[in-house]
Structure 1
Amino acid sequence: MKGQNKKAKNRLKFKVKTRTHKNRSPVNKEKIVAQARELIESLCETEGLELVHLEYQREAGGRILRLFIDGPGGVTLDDCVHISRQSSDLLDVFLEDTGPYRLEVSSPGPNRPLRKRRDFDRFKGNRVKIKTAQPVDGQKKIKGVLMGISEEMVKLSVNGKIACIPYQEIITARLAD
């Protein structure tokens, strides 16, 4: 019983196939992502969770909408199921012109992306991988221990030295093993 609701450190997934919509007009990906993000962020906030990332893309089996959620103590499978059911209902009502798609809800996993400024403070002391648009100290890919963010600079400890990375130069950042 106790193990069933235990917070998992590895990625949790719950997949749901939503209804197929008959309208097959061209899909505006950016519009769908923006509308879905607004709806799901609001839903997650009311549930005490955070929408970490949302992606909408075409894959071999059709279109897929992936939601990555997290909470202060992680997320359980029950959290993923609950958000999946709630968001499926919301999306079916407010995103009628998307065409058929699958909905996946999961935790961000151990290598979660860092997207918001607050993520860079929240995960201080963790190992991270950062990819930048312009080289920093001659490198575009940097691994180190996150020291936080101040003003517009993300600070890492890399081999005993401090690397300062301009926030706006970061293409991707994620927790590392």
Structure 2
Amino acid sequence: MGKTKVEKIVEDLVQPILKKEEFELVDIEFKKEGPHRYLRVYIDKPGGITLDDCQKVSEQLSEKLDETDPIEENYFLEISSPGLDRPLKKDSDFEKFKGENVEVRLYEAIDNKKVIEGELLELKDNIIKLNISEIGLVEIPREKVAVTKLAIKF
């Protein structure tokens, strides 16, 4: 699914802020939930994001959004870390998390499974390659994937 116009505008506004602070943009969502709209910006850095980091970005981005006023309706701005089960969206995410356990949720089942978990080997030619302990190498076309995220082990 592609980015909305608002998400593209916000990405252009937030990138210089994140570059200056040496943070990474993980994702942007502009969603309606119940009667409210939310603009969520997920950021990260090595070692993780703190509340102070979120506040710093929130203040700077709020100022830019007030100046340019690209969003007509009312919304809540949220700056957040991607969490432990961080989604992998960009090609660079797949490269960065090679060797990690991931959970791949599919649009339609493959071998009667809609959720596949295994070690991320690589993303190449839009094919996600996993090593699954019970069966070995599994190759999943990216277009069949609803979401790929880091798997949490307790």
Scaled by the length of structure 1, the TM-score of the pair is 0.75
Scaled by the length of structure 2, the TM-score of the pair is 0.84
Which position in structure 1 is the counterpart of 2:61? 87
2:42 to 68, 81, 91: 68
Which position in structure 1 is the counterpart of 2:26? 52
Which position in structure 2 is the counterpart of 1:100? 74
1:170 aligns with 2:145: yes
Which position in structure 2 is the counterpart of 1:151? 125
Q: CA-to-partner distance for each residue in 1:61-84, whole Å, 9 max, x for gaps?
A: 621111110012321211111101
CA distance in 2, matches of 1:149, 1:30: 25
1:132 to 106, 109, 114: 106
Instruction: Indicate the SS of the match to 2:19.
Output: helix
Aligned residues: CA RMSD = 2.0
State the percentage of identical aligned residues. Answer: 37
| One-letter identity of the residue aligned with 2:130 | L
1:148 CA displacement: 2.1
Quick check: 2:9–2:70 contact (8 Å CA) kept in 1? no
**Higher mean displacement: 60-69 or 106-115:** 60-69
1:143 CA displacement: 1.0
| One-letter identity of the residue aligned with 2:148 | A
In structure 2, the CA distance between the partners of 1:121 and 1:98, relative to structure 1 (3 Å rule), is: same
CA distance in 1, matches of 2:110, 2:33: 34
In structure 2, the CA distance between the partners of 1:99 and 1:152, relative to structure 1 (3 Å rule), is: closer
Quick check: 2:18–2:57 contact (8 Å CA) kept in 1? yes
Which position in structure 2 is the counterpart of 1:10? none
Q: CA-to-partner distance for each residue in 1:41-65, whole Å, 9 max, x for gaps?
A: 3321232111111111122462111
5+ residue gaps, structure 2, are none
